[in-house]
Structure 1
């Protein structure tokens, strides 16, 4: 029998058993120093103080191939280490004090996810800027955005953007930029509640509950917590599953006690509302939810609870995809069907293309893969080792995202999304191996702490290693605002790579072109004759306005880190434009430059007349 399990009538009925705080009498003895209660209240404020003291010492301009990892001072890592030691001390107490456990978890989230927001002068990550532009456009048009081009997909899944537009209307704010920078911190803090509800539906052991929550935030490296529909929908996804498992646990406990289960129509209405919000906000999350509910409905004892929720998810998804999202679904249906015929490429699409990346990025990528494989492996070991775990819905929640892996490559990101959706179950399963019961031998606690520390170190590589291309300087943001403000309707804005802070602002009036997304022959020509490639972009009859080229520090960093272009490509393009009479430089700085195509024989206007 597992140390986290006791025999009970509820266990015979298939319900995960309650776990007592102690499984056997404990002989009176003097507690070792770690259990005297001094470390728990002291480590937390000291760690937070060390983190705060480390922030002014970070020189983000010195980042290299490993991003923030290269510039964070030793006090930052000391803060993380002290948090880990303090949390271990919380779990080693005879009775877990939940306020302290919550404090350490919240501090861990803050130290990891608030650091970039506190250090950078502008919103990080180009995709977050894109979503800011969508909210801005929907706010201006009071709904769907006309002439949205490749971003029309957001008109068909607008829930997240319309919600933020409503927040702006209510608050009177002009842009979501003010809180989008802190969205990673907010998204992770909000996840704590659903995770607690989910894990408390499985066990009453506070060590396992809080250990699972700690491990979730220690290994969630994929970075899908930025200002995005995915982060919003994932929060709702975890909440729906937590409510379903809570209802299953209530029914089984009532059955074991021989009493009728109380009906909670309000909870079901809440589930319906959450599913509706998921369906109208994101393409992939409803499919992941349906797959998970299908697997949870396999055990007969679950069907009375799961099948109604599954019916709602299938019905709302079908209704939305056949009406509002029909243009996208009908256009890409052949691609979706074709992806089903190539499961091998779908499963490995996110692992290729590292041959010419920076050495630090290659190393970080292998750390990410090792961390992912380790988490899945430990979770599978937990399923095999603990029979009581197999009677919960967690193994099915772990398996469900893997079913989606061969179905579509999702732009090369499916393997990362699978890890994201499997992580709530995987983190708890790993906790059943690493969180020892009370009482326990000290060496086991230290061994578990060492493994947890290694996992946390892996998270830092995955979450921080690409920051040199994800962060933007104030000058880069200013240059982009300048070009999007002066570009008249019908213009085209060209960049070498997609790392641009706000290139999509006003996307309903101008077109965005990223040279890194051109065909291979065009990308090769850019290396030898950049002016020929840029002039070829002027021949598009759809472009009725002028063409602007914006080159930034982050684009060069992306070329170096990912290998999409050789090192120095952005500098070469900038040098070619500086010597060409076909382009006029409108904005010039060490981190950004903006050029306008004026054509042969044109007379450039004085630089001062167009400088911001």
Structure 2
């Protein structure tokens, strides 16, 4: 079934009408053959998992095929890099290369100057290879990151059980339920991989580890060379991302609660706390000092912090409302299965994984992280929760009956169904055409330093190139009064944000398909706002259309002279 499902998947991608994506993104344009391939792949895995004669190579193949089906599909279908934040991170790398380090006048991107590890590593790679840009390999980041994540997942699970079925079942549950989408070209993707590597190596050293020790004379504790390598990983996390070091510290504190673990956990905890504090007090001090009052205020708003991640769906498109409920349902199901596994499989309580699963909860309560903490908490809890859920579904130990494949199949298939809803449902916004890329490149190449660039939303590919030279304004994120004026009188709503333009530094307005889809899907602006803005701006004084195709249009703005003469 494995080669057949892979063949069907590749055949299904030959002709996909991407321009048909609306409320449900890729879900509504992928052909039936794609879903047949996914269903067949899941059935084949269930059969292989429950057969004691199946070689581990086949289980590895099934998991890699699942990763390819989920995470390589957009890359194979789209003409260019998906998701606007991937493009923003490429712009940061470009700026750091041009400035040899910190980027001046970074404005909202200044946070990347304070945690530059991921960007400087990519800058080093680009300089070493001679590549002009990371667009090519960034497009494969989701698939590549998930393949790399397989190694620490296997090591983590093998450290707590010798049951091969349970190990691979937990891996499958993890990949089938990781709908958050934090696997694109981003510092979080990079540091989560490092976090999982640290956890896997740490569980390998715990007294409860099910793996044989390489040195039988060493009862517990770290081999010095391995501990040094872990400290290097911790240091890399500390300089690359503001949140992941805190998640790491929280996990280490939780794992230190049992006294038997402390000889292993406390050295890493001390290193993580010291390195994070040192970095935040020195290199990241400029960011911390500006935002410290917000961080303190958040400590006293636990209910708002937790609720901030629950999307308000009142103005969203109908399909997006459905997606939100499916995401919540899948997340709740994972939590319930994990709790049931914890209660009904007492042996899992000795593994340390229940502590790892609840470790993100303190951070969920104390900070909203821009409304994303709920998603990040789920992401960091999922590896442990997936194992507890698998322990419930795949009983381990002598005398335990192997579940029938057709018992596991509907559960695994339902998980995969929920996963694709969350992962593919917003692709109408994440996918960009070559015309949108060309329009953004026109703006960044022609806008003189000091020019203002206005868009409806931030869903534009590559418009942040040279971000230290331009001021970016997104109309959907302005005050309610500004948005109401834009809706009532589009021309009057746009012009004030271009008021600083001059003949030497004109302003630019870019409208595009992905921005239209964002307005429609989220309800942040009326669905027809782009068309109304375009109809009023065409021919309006000061506005000149300088680029246009079927997916994007760019207007240059120079204020007309008061006497009506030539500008």
Indicate the larger mover: 347-356 or 535-544: 535-544
8 Å CA contact 1:251–1:261 kept in 2: the answer is no
- Relative to 1, partners in 2 of residues 1:412 and 1:209: Cα closer, same or farther, differing over 3 Å? same
Name the counterpart of 1:270: 229
Name the counterpart of 1:39: none
- Tell me how far 1:448 sits from its aligned partner: 2.1
Within 5 A, what are the aligned runs for 1:546-557? 546-557=506-517
Name the counterpart of 1:18: none
Within 5 A, what are the aligned runs for 1:517-556? 517-540=477-500, 545-556=505-516
- Relative to 1, partners in 2 of residues 1:462 and 1:204: Cα closer, same or farther, differing over 3 Å? same
Aligned-residue Cα RMSD (Å) equals 2.0
8 Å CA contact 2:508–2:557 kept in 1: the answer is yes
Name the counterpart of 2:252: 293
Within 5 A, what are the aligned runs for 1:330-369? 330-369=289-328
Aligned counterparts of 1:218 and 1:194: Cα–Cα separation in 2: 17
1:178 aligned to 136, 140, 151, which one?
Answer: 136
Name the counterpart of 2:377: 418
- Tell me how far 1:440 sits from its aligned partner: 6.9
SS in 1 for 2:308: helix
Aligned counterparts of 2:36 and 2:260: Cα–Cα separation in 1: 48
User: 1:559 aligned to 2:528?
Assistant: no
Aligned counterparts of 2:285 and 2:179: Cα–Cα separation in 1: 33
Aligned counterparts of 1:252 and 1:500: Cα–Cα separation in 2: 49
Name the counterpart of 1:229: 187
Name the counterpart of 2:68: 110
Name the counterpart of 2:124: 166
Aligned counterparts of 1:526 and 1:264: Cα–Cα separation in 2: 63
SS in 2 for 1:550: strand
Name the counterpart of 2:422: 462
Aligned counterparts of 2:565 and 2:50: Cα–Cα separation in 1: 76
User: 1:209 aligned to 2:167?
Assistant: yes
1:134 aligned to 89, 92, 101, which one?
Answer: 92
Q: Provide TM-score, normalisation by structure 1.
A: 0.89
1:501 aligned to 461, 466, 478, which one?
Answer: 461
Number of aligned residues? 562
- Tell me how far 1:543 sits from its aligned partner: 12
Name the counterpart of 1:34: none
- Relative to 1, partners in 2 of residues 1:384 and 1:531: Cα closer, same or farther, differing over 3 Å? same
- Relative to 1, partners in 2 of residues 1:252 and 1:194: Cα closer, same or farther, differing over 3 Å? closer
User: 1:473 aligned to 2:473?
Assistant: no
Name the counterpart of 2:21: 63
Aligned counterparts of 1:313 and 1:544: Cα–Cα separation in 2: 50
- Tell me how far 1:590 sits from its aligned partner: 1.4
Aligned counterparts of 2:224 and 2:504: Cα–Cα separation in 1: 57
Aligned counterparts of 2:534 and 2:379: Cα–Cα separation in 1: 39
8 Å CA contact 1:491–1:543 kept in 2: the answer is no
User: 1:399 aligned to 2:358?
Assistant: yes
User: 1:311 aligned to 2:260?
Assistant: no
- Relative to 1, partners in 2 of residues 1:555 and 1:94: Cα closer, same or farther, differing over 3 Å? same
Aligned counterparts of 1:177 and 1:129: Cα–Cα separation in 2: 8
Within 5 A, what are the aligned runs for 1:88-107? 88-107=46-65
SS in 2 for 1:410: coil
8 Å CA contact 2:161–2:210 kept in 1: the answer is no
User: 1:72 aligned to 2:30?
Assistant: yes
1:193 aligned to 146, 151, 171, which one?
Answer: 151
Aligned counterparts of 1:604 and 1:496: Cα–Cα separation in 2: 29
- Tell me how far 1:588 sits from its aligned partner: 1.2
- Tell me how far 1:528 sits from its aligned partner: 0.9
The unaligned stretches of length 5 or more in structure 2 are none
SS in 1 for 2:14: helix
Aligned counterparts of 2:351 and 2:115: Cα–Cα separation in 1: 33
- Tell me how far 1:253 sits from its aligned partner: 7.7
Within 5 A, what are the aligned runs for 1:145-156? 145-156=103-114
Name the counterpart of 1:15: none
- Tell me how far 1:580 sits from its aligned partner: 1.0
- Relative to 1, partners in 2 of residues 1:469 and 1:85: Cα closer, same or farther, differing over 3 Å? same
2:201 aligned to 243, 246, 252, which one?
Answer: 243
8 Å CA contact 2:208–2:350 kept in 1: the answer is no
The superposition leaves residues 86-111 of structure 1 with CA deviations (integer Å, 9 ceiling, x where unpaired) of 11111111244110000000000001
Q: Provide TM-score, normalisation by structure 2.
A: 0.96
User: 1:122 aligned to 2:122?
Assistant: no
- Tell me how far 1:576 sits from its aligned partner: 1.4
1:81 aligned to 36, 39, 54, which one?
Answer: 39
Name the counterpart of 1:515: 475
SS in 1 for 2:538: helix
8 Å CA contact 2:158–2:210 kept in 1: the answer is no
- Tell me how far 1:408 sits from its aligned partner: 1.0
Name the counterpart of 2:550: 590
SS in 2 for 1:383: helix
- Relative to 1, partners in 2 of residues 1:185 and 1:260: Cα closer, same or farther, differing over 3 Å? closer
- Relative to 1, partners in 2 of residues 1:390 and 1:436: Cα closer, same or farther, differing over 3 Å? closer
The unaligned stretches of length 5 or more in structure 1 are 1-42, 606-612
Aligned counterparts of 1:414 and 1:251: Cα–Cα separation in 2: 31
Indicate the larger mover: 310-319 or 588-597: 588-597
8 Å CA contact 1:128–1:226 kept in 2: the answer is yes
User: 1:572 aligned to 2:532?
Assistant: yes
SS in 1 for 2:432: coil
8 Å CA contact 2:86–2:186 kept in 1: the answer is yes
Aligned counterparts of 1:208 and 1:137: Cα–Cα separation in 2: 46
Name the counterpart of 1:51: 9
- Tell me how far 1:403 sits from its aligned partner: 1.8
User: 1:371 aligned to 2:296?
Assistant: no
